Structure 1
Amino acid sequence: MPEETDESLLERIAHGAFGYFVEQYNAATGLIADSSDPGDPCSIAAVGFALSCYPIGVERGWMPRAEAIARTLAALRFFANSEQSHHPDATGYKGFYRHFIDIQTGKPAWRSEVSLIDTTLLLAGMLVASVYFDGADAQEAEIRATVDALYRRMDWEWACDNQPTARQGWRPKGGFLHYGWDGYDEATILYILGLASPTHPLPANTFDAWTHTYQWEEIYGYTHLYAGPLFIHHFSQAWIDFRGIRDAFMREKKCDYAENTRRATLMQIEYARRNPHGFVGYSEKCWGLSASRGVGFQTREVERRLRHFLGYSARGAPYGPDDGTIAPCEMLASLPFTSERCLESLRHMLATFPEVLVDGRLASGFNPTLPGKGPGGWVANGHLGLDQGIVVMMIENYRTGLTWSLMKRCPYVVGGLRRAGFSGGWLSEAK
């Protein structure tokens, strides 16, 4: 039997990941569950990924356009009609939303905060929908109008709380959380969309203030803007093509954020090759430290060595934390930046640890150091919406650049990038 082609393998995995949003969906509200665990609430960021993936599903023939429109409208109508107030049971405040909400009622779940970054990822998905559904009929026009109205009611200036950078979140009783979006992280898209607001934008100096908290390092010979977990490098770039465009920081470093992600990925590969902590399975073909599920917070003796394991954590290299858990979805999220290494590693992982891929869907984490039912050792049960979303989007960006192309047509994205000081590349010709 001939070996499966790269195209066929990626199609199978992307289609399998897309199926998460078909399954973990509430038809009444349009909301998406945070995970496939029974009874889990909605993650608003997962809704953002779903809204971004529906156009991919339409273009790939996985979902009829009419169904994608209906799902998109259900979510948009829910957020448009949800309560925005100080009330502890409100879905949101000042145009932003609680991180986790009940998938049927929209009431806050898990005592979650009003989250700036998760609302931003939701907004990013809404903007994808507003560009893709450009038809003249009433439903597609409603999508565009509703997205614009939801964007306009977001008060980004309030979200700074008179601080140099945006705050991370807010609670009705405690007010703003005592920390902001400082240091390089997944908030790039937050600042860009916040600066682009047509009504209540972030102050103009917030992006510059944020970049002054960056940490530029040389690790294993790779000079780059450091962030340990891979998802930090991937999330904003799932929506925005940073190839060839630079802000003031990257102009000084003669780099761009896409190239930075390539270097960060290669640094992680080198870390896995060196394997300083002696974890089973790590190699230049098996890597991927990021936010993922884990064994659980415990200490166990494995082959006469005490190992400290984590639950859901943002793992990173080389400074940790690292407990031997690999996030296979983040390996695929690096496809647009290090495609040959990713494809080679994907095939090695599937050949060596086949239980990591079931029905075309990658696990949210596995740890070969801890013995399990197969060579992959411990393998996470269930799936996470954010993991599956990044797989769908980055495979498509690698294959066709669909989401990047859509966002290049979004005037808010173009305007936000320019206000943040980006120039060059495709941005020079954007309208």
Structure 2
Amino acid sequence: MPTHQHDVPARMIDVPALMQSDEAELDFLQRGSFAYFIDQTNPANGLVRDKNVPGWPASIAAVGMALLAYPVAVERALIGREAALRVVLTTLRFFWNSPQGPQADATGHHGFYYHFLDMESGRRAGTCELSTIDSAFLLAGALGAACYFNRPDADEQELCTLADALYRRADWQWAQNRGDTVTMGWKSGRGFLKHRWTGYNEALLLYILGLGSPTFPLPSASYQAWCAFYHWDHCYGVPYLQSGSLFTHQLSHVWIDFRGIDDQFMRAHGIDYFENSRRATLVQQRYAIDNPQRLIGYGQTCWGITASDGPGPATRVIDGVKRRFFDYVARGVPHGPDDGTIAPWAVIAALPFAPEIVLPTIAQFARTPALHCRYGYKTTFNATFRSKAMPHGWVSPWHFGIDQGPVLLMIENYRSGLPWRLMRACPYIGSGLRRAGFRGGWLDAAPGMP
């Protein structure tokens, strides 16, 4: 892997203006992503199916993304405001009234929720964990929706009250389990999971929310403990804070506008987290161009390696080379694993960071009819995994709520910045960022709790 020490520009130049064809494709993708939430939501409780398979459970992270998607859908005329309000209010009522406690079939405990819930009953699905990160996405969605549906009528005021109450109920100190950092979760009858959120990944949002809590706030030291495991790297001439799967550089940015604000770690390196995600995106493309494993299809407009489903588990000899293929795994760059599986949704979610390389890649996907479907593009594909039955490779037959949400929301952050503006108006976000040591830019004028 070629590595160099020289820096890259703080911002890319010559970002292309959106052409009419770009606008039409972005409209298509946002409509498709929102269609997933329409099709896969139970209108009785607002729960969103994790995967478009009959009988599959709901994902609370997908619910959180849907909650923030409804304001975007209203503004893009994909749904009326009253209809969107009904769904969001139904969802928040369900979570507020759902059973909390240590029982194995509860919906949540200490203000956090089980990763997967039964679509009908809303109770814990199977033996899944009470997930701190997925609860963070859920709560962030509730707070963002409350910043949009905040008119003085009774329903919108109830929505705001419920979102605030749900956030205040989450006991972040309990989730530390007497440690410096936050645990990944808890299981009824077994207690806390042994793993904790440390090092740079999607849990940046989790710590900001925990630090901003007015009821059970994380201590500031917890954020420093999280940062202590950061890994600064140099790949393809690009210095950046490394985290392999592309989604880890995106999900916290769905909610928080990190442009122009920085914490102690980023100040020491002269960039912000937004610029860091841009660099991670550039590394993805450069890895695909280099294509060290000589996988089929990789190139300048075919990249995007992240945690995703895949064609495996299987081992096959392709063009004389024995290759191992995975099912769901945290694929990543530059250190792998990598089996040739590309995730178009992760490319689209990188649009705000590097439109100069994302837009041409979207255009390439748009010229590939096999990727088109009701929900925009297929979730993943693998051109290397070929056989007589699949001469052009494997294409995923499934879609996931947590993949569709970032598509709709990050396109909107690029086009109008609406999700970022809503979250900037939430005082808890401002408070959490300040307690983590962030300063500068929009944060200096943002609201915060005393």
**Same structural fold, with TM-score higher than 0.5 when normalized by the shorter chain:** yes
Partners in 2 of 1:163 and 1:178 — Cα distance?
11
Structure 1 distance, partners of 2:96, 2:374, is 36
| 2:64 aligned to which of 34, 39, 48 | 48
Report what 1:359 is aligned to: 374
CA distance in 2 between counterparts of 1:92 and 1:307 reads: 42
Q: Where do 1:138-149 residues align within 5 Å?
A: 138-149=154-165
SS at match of 2:124: coil
Q: Give yes or no for the alignment of 1:14 onto 2:43.
A: no
Matched, 1:177 2:193: yes
Instruction: Report the alpha carbon displacement of residue 285 of structure 1 after superposing the two structures with TM.
Output: 1.1
Is 1:295 aligned with 2:311? Answer: yes
2:278 maps to 262
What is aligned with 2:54? 38
TM-score relative to the length of structure 1:
0.97
1: CA distance between counterparts of 2:57 and 2:206? 23
Instruction: Tell me what 2:420 maps to.
Output: 404
Q: CA separation in 2, counterparts of 1:376 and 1:418?
A: 51
User: For residue 336 of structure 1, what is the aligned residue in structure 2?
Assistant: 352
Deviations 1:42-73 (A, max 9, x none): 00000001001000000000001111111001
Q: CA deviation digits over 1:320-364, x for unaligned, max 9?
A: 01010001000001100100110011112332x321122351111
For the Cα contact (< 8 Å) 1:366–1:376, is it kept in 2?
no
Equivalent residue number for residue 134 of structure 2: 118
1:358-380 deviations in Å (ceiling 9; x for gaps): 23511111000012677752000
The aligned runs of 1:152-191 (5 Å cut-off) are 152-191=168-207
Code of the aligned partner of 1:282: Y
Task: Determine helix, strand or coil for the equivalent of 2:403.
Answer: helix
The one-letter amino acid paired with 1:80 is W
Closer, same or farther in 2 for the Cα pair 1:5/1:375, shift >3 Å? farther
Moved more, 301-310 or 32-41: 301-310
Aligned residues: 428
* Residue 111 (structure 2) aligned to one of 78, 89, 95: 95
Unaligned runs of 5+ in 2: 1-18
For 2:443, the equivalent position in structure 1 comes to 427
Q: Which moved more, 1:236-245 or 1:368-377?
A: 368-377
Shift of 1:20: 0.3
The letter of the residue matching 1:418 is R
Question: Offset at 1:382?
Answer: 2.2
- The question of 1:78 aligning with 2:87 is answered no
Which of 374, 378, 386 is residue 394 of structure 2 equivalent to?
Answer: 378
Aligned-partner residue type, residue 46 of structure 1: A
Q: Residue 84 of structure 2 aligns to which amino acid in structure 1?
A: A
Conserved in 1, the CA contact under 8 Å of 2:35 and 2:374? no
Give yes or no for contact 1:100–1:108 (8 Å, CA) kept in 2.
yes
Check the 8 A contact 2:68/2:145 in 1, yes or no. yes
**Which residue identity does 1:329 align to in structure 2?**
W
Rounded to whole Å, the distance in 1 between the matches of 2:104 and 2:298 is 45
- 1:130 equivalent to 2:173? Answer no
Check the 8 A contact 1:355/1:376 in 2, yes or no: no
Q: Choose which of 239, 243, 250 in structure 2 pairs with 1:223.
A: 239
Residues 311-350 of structure 1 aligned to structure 2 (within 5 Å) = 311-350=327-366
Runs of at least 5 residues in structure 1 that lack an aligned partner in the other structure: none
Distance 1:410 1:389 in 2: 20
Normalising by structure 2, report the TM-score.
0.93
- More displaced 10-residue stretch of structure 1: 16-25 or 355-364: 355-364
Distance 1:146 1:409 in 2: 17
1:193-226 alpha-carbon deviations (Å, 9 max, x no partner): 0011110111221011111110000111100000
1:27 aligns with 2:43: yes
SS in 1 for 2:359: helix
Cα separation, 1, equivalents of 2:390 and 2:259? 40
Asked if structure 1 preserves the Cα contact closer than 8 Å seen for 2:33 and 2:404, the reply is yes
SS of 1:157's equivalent in the other structure is: helix
Asked whether the equivalents of residues 17 and 362 of structure 1 are also in contact (C-alpha less than 8 Å), the reply is no
| 3-state SS in 1 of match to 2:172 | coil
Q: Secondary structure at the match of 1:205?
A: helix
> Which residue in 1 is equivalent to 2:300?
284
CA contact (8 A) 2:36 2:375 kept: no
Alignment match of 2:80 (pick from 64, 68, 76): 64
Contact 1:285/1:348, CA 8 A, preserved across alignment? yes
Whether 1:211 and 2:231 are equivalent positions in the alignment is: no
Q: 1:220 to 1:375 in 2, by over 3 A?
A: farther
Aligned residue for 2:220, secondary structure, equals coil
Distance 1:20 1:175 in 2: 34
Alignment deviations for residues 14-48 of structure 1 (CA, whole Å, 9 cap, x no partner): 11111100000101111000011111100000000
Moved more, 374-383 or 288-297: 374-383
Distance 2:282 2:169 in 1: 41
Conserved? CA contact 1:298–1:309, under 8 Å: yes
Distance 1:79 1:140 in 2: 17
Q: Counterpart of 1:359 in structure 2: which amino acid?
A: R
Q: From 253, 260, 265, give the equivalent of 1:249.
A: 265
Percent identity, please.
49
Moved over 6 A (4+): 372-375
Deviations 1:55-100 (A, max 9, x none): 0000000001111111001111111111111101111110000000
